[in-house]
Copies of this chain bind each other. A is one copy, B any other.
């Protein structure tokens, strides 16, 4: 059974997008890369800064409104259907709700074979990269660094604090394309007998 979906979860400025692009470069087959940023890009400008949509506070805190959640749920169904139709997919997301966010994806992805990847980055380093980017609300990286991993179960975790994105991608790609004998077919089964629990 081959991996059909790779889900990258990590806080803002942890290096997810770089890893996603690197994965596309190193994986032997063509993979589509979608992410929470591409969903936000597809939304009306008015939703990007409103109570019903996305509310980014001065301190980098993010509130997600009900309309945003509805559109996101429909989009998750669409991502699952795209994978179900045969396209391999990398998802780059920020699990603001931790385990609860993972549950939403699990329901949407159903029986697809998913590789769950935690993307870690030391909080202080992520905060410094946030300053370097210059286009993010200061404080987002630090506030999300730990919380997005709460209760999340991974097949694999990478840490970009001291490791380049490309190297992280190679590690992930190796696991995504390996076919261990007794590996169960579904992501759900797989999650049960191996991955360690994310930090709480």
A residues contacting B by CB (< 8 A) are 18-19, 21-22, 24-25, 30-34, 38-39, 41-47, 52-53, 67, 70-71, 73-75, 77-87, 125, 128-129, 131-135, 162, 164-167
Partner of A164, one of B19, B86, B129, B134: B129
Q: How far is the CB of A36 from chain B (nearest CB, A)?
A: 13
A132 near B21: Cβ-Cβ < 8 Å: yes
Q: How far is the CB of A169 from chain B (nearest CB, A)?
A: 8
A165 near B128: Cβ-Cβ < 8 Å: yes
Q: Which residues of B contact A80 (CB under 8 A)?
A: 78, 81
Given contacts A73-B85, A167-B128, contact A43 B32 (CB under 8 A): yes
Given contacts A21-B132, A22-B132, A44-B24, contact A164 B125 (CB under 8 A): yes
> Which residue on B lies nearest to A167, using beta carbons?
B128
Q: Which residues of B contact A165 (CB under 8 A)?
A: 128-129, 132
> Which residue on B lies nearest to A45, using beta carbons?
B134
Q: Which residues of B contact A46 (CB under 8 A)?
A: 24-25, 30
Name 22 A/B residue pairs within 8 A (Cβ), A-sorted: A18-B132, A19-B132, A21-B45, A24-B43, A24-B44, A25-B45, A25-B134, A30-B46, A30-B67, A32-B43, A32-B71, A33-B44, A45-B135, A70-B87, A73-B85, A77-B82, A78-B78, A78-B81, A81-B82, A125-B164, A128-B165, A162-B162
Q: How far is the CB of A8 from chain B (nearest CB, A)?
A: 14
Partner of A131, one of B79, B85, B133, B166: B166
Interchain residue pairs A-B with the least CB separation, the first 10? A78-B82, A81-B81, A74-B87, A128-B166, A74-B85, A24-B44, A77-B85, A78-B78, A18-B132, A32-B42
